[in-house]
Structure 1
Amino acid sequence: MTEAILLAGGKGSRLRPVTLHTPKPMVPAAGVPFLAHQLARAKAAGVTHVVLATSYLAEVFEPYFGDGSALGMRLTYVTEDQPLGTGGAIRSAADALTSGPADPVLVFNGDILTGLDIAGLVDAHQRAGAAVTLHLTRADDPREYGLVPTDDTGRVLDFTEKPQHPDEIVTDQINAGCYVFRREVIDTIPAGRPVSVERETFPQLLAAGALLHGVVDRTYWLDLGRPACFVKASADLVRGIVASPALPGPTGEYLLLPGAQVADGAKLGGGTVVGAGARIEAGAVVEGSIVLDGARVAEGAQVYDSLLGARSSVGRNTTVTGAVVGDDAEVGSANELTDGARVWCDARIPDAAIRFSPDC
């Protein structure tokens, strides 16, 4: 049996307004909550028990996933009243594990989409005899991530968290947010206080001479922290660029959920998903976007690389590009929202009122 801890407690501030009432792991991507894709991939890799470490809007997880039996695994929920950082969340969740001291425990960040061979990472951890094994990937611009240089054998040499100066960029290898811990190592993390594994736990283990092993993998990897990345992840799942057993339909240029309505003459593509009860009217174009349940795209509107919240509407001949429209918001006709525009939940934008706005 392989157990896992899935860190799902973040507020998703950068994804607002869609995370005002929904925790980031529960925002739909490719037709189901993003968390469903992570759980399905974990199950396919042989994970039988997942502990969900929750905090923000924790009450929404269990009603959706239950005890995990419908997924063919067991789910346990551990909720933090006060966020304790990555290390604190891992330590709190560990009390629900049943693994022995030397057993491997997977740890996933709840906002990463990857094509990583999860079982292969566990095997590499076991072969190396490591205290912790880290999934690493390479980034063209690594400044926003934790840098993890390794030697020729994969031994981790150092950690530099989000370098501020050019001379600190010693590698393009970054922490990709998936780990395998020896269970007894988790038990050494201090309990009951905030702890960062990146800034505290891993550097302390290195200083103590523990073996931290890095596995560099160049398969698909995307951090979903920003709206554009979340929308791209959904589109890539729909198109099959990264596989997920949780996809509720065949891969292709678009995915229609039950009850979605698409009028003759509307054009869909680029991995668009249209939610239940959503309506795309004649002459509308929707490319590479997420249209959540009950939303409406009116005749002649154009929506590109955007997220339209539940029951939102986009008026006739309006263009929405790279934007987020919150739940129940109404964007009138002949508007233009581009380049990171956000329309907050329940907002009302009159006809021909906006050519562009980053925050409506």
Structure 2
Amino acid sequence: MSTPAAPNPATALLPDGICAVVVAAGEGTRLRPLTEHRPKALCPVGNVPLLDRVLARLAGLGLTGPDRVAVNACYLGEQVVEHVGSRAHLSVESGGLLGTAGALANLRDWIDGRGVLVGNADGYLADPPAPPGADIAALLSGWDGRTVRLLGQPITGPDEPGSFSGHRFAGWSLLPWHRVRELPLERAELVRTVWRPAEAAGELTVVSFSGTYLDTGTPADYLAANLHAAAGENLIHPTATVTGACQQSIVGPGAVVRGTVTRSVVWAGAEVAEGERLTEVLRVGRDVTVPAGAR
């Protein structure tokens, strides 16, 4: 007789009537030139597209498929649409970016009375003691369906501009239907239309996240996320060719490294020529090198 599989504690915490929206429409201007030909949501961290990391986290909560998960797209949206395929409902903002609040207003008919777990596609989260999904399950546990919840990383010093109750926003929020229902279909952001009004009304709760969170919006943070994913080792895709030297670096599919790379990211198909020495940079193609700079 087979032993029944142990229940997933993260899935057990999922309230009824919840859907998820992944915000993946942004231009990623601070990451250029990396994002000139690839949307930020598809930039790889540890050789895994950021968007796939978010979808895996939702799957860990039991949220999968186009009835439960939606992804919005705008900038280079055709790439996002092709990449997601049938894994989620797709909301293409053909008239231009709608922002995080406008994206939800555009999905109002699909959300249809449900609470919404909203995740930023460009957020990198990691919590070694908990797998993806379980690491943010506290955001859902015991939710009353009326209040707004934010995942937040504690700030060790004085409150920063834009912080919430001594926490820095960590990429995820949980919104009740009545807040989504009232959003106008126009370009707007959740911080002004939902989070701050809920905070002023005493209806916002920050759920503390003690793991690692990086928004990957700058080359420095993008490199930091990759190095964290590699955990101090090299992370070299099996289809890459490395005849040079790598130290604490991430090398993507089909990349060729004949030189020396240290604490760097070499994208899929990129090349590092013999004699080249790259340190704390991002390499795209044969000769595009983006210094990470200071965080």
Specify the TM-score bucket, using the shorter chain as the normaliser.
Answer: 0.7 to 0.9
Q: Helix, strand or coil: the match of 1:5?
A: strand
TM-score by length of 1: 0.67
Q: Helix, strand or coil: the match of 2:117?
A: strand
Q: With CA pairs under 8 Å and 6+ residues apart, which has the higher RCO, 1 or 2?
A: 2
Q: Please show how residues 34-53 of structure 1 align to structure 2 within 5 Å.
A: 34-48=50-64, 49-53=68-72
**Selected match of 1:65 from 65, 84, 98:** 84
TM-score by length of 2: 0.80
Q: Helix, strand or coil: the match of 1:105?
A: strand
**Selected match of 1:297 from 246, 257, 260:** 257
Change in Cα spacing, 1:290 to 1:143, as seen in structure 2 (3 Å) is: farther
Contact 1:234 1:271 in 2 (8 A): no
Computing the radius of gyration from Cα coordinates, the structure with the larger value is 1
Deviations 1:6-35 (A, max 9, x none): 100111122222211111111122232121
Deviation, structure 1 residue 213: 1.3
Give the letter for the 1:329 counterpart. Answer: D
Q: Please show how residues 215-254 of structure 1 align to structure 2 within 5 Å.
A: 215-239=207-231
Contact 2:122 2:216 in 1 (8 A): yes
Change in Cα spacing, 1:42 to 1:82, as seen in structure 2 (3 Å) is: same
Give the whole-Å Cα distance in 2 for the aligned partners of 1:219 and 1:19. Answer: 27
User: Are 2:287 and 1:274 aligned?
Assistant: no
Deviations 1:102-146 (A, max 9, x none): x431001111122373322111433xx542111111235788762
**Selected match of 2:135 from 97, 111, 117:** 117
**Residue in structure 2 matched with residue 31 of structure 1 by the alignment:** 47
Q: Helix, strand or coil: the match of 1:66?
A: helix
Contact 1:320 1:338 in 2 (8 A): no
Give the letter for the 1:78 counterpart. Answer: S
How large is the RMSD of aligned CA atoms in angstroms?
Answer: 2.6
**Residue in structure 1 matched with residue 171 of structure 2 by the alignment:** 177
Instruction: Give structure 1 stretches of 5+ with no counterpart.
Output: 69-74, 150-170, 240-269, 332-336, 342-360
Instruction: Give structure 2 stretches of 5+ with no counterpart.
Output: 1-15, 128-133
Give the whole-Å Cα distance in 2 for the aligned partners of 1:90 and 1:28. Answer: 25
Change in Cα spacing, 1:330 to 1:23, as seen in structure 2 (3 Å) is: closer
User: Are 2:127 and 1:108 aligned?
Assistant: no
Give the whole-Å Cα distance in 2 for the aligned partners of 1:142 and 1:206. Answer: 19
Count of residues in Structure 1 that have an aligned counterpart in Structure 2: 267
Give the whole-Å Cα distance in 1 for the aligned partners of 2:161 and 2:260. Answer: 34
**Residue in structure 2 matched with residue 7 of structure 1 by the alignment:** 23
**Residue in structure 2 matched with residue 188 of structure 1 by the alignment:** 182
Change in Cα spacing, 1:17 to 1:288, as seen in structure 2 (3 Å) is: farther
Deviation, structure 1 residue 60: 1.1
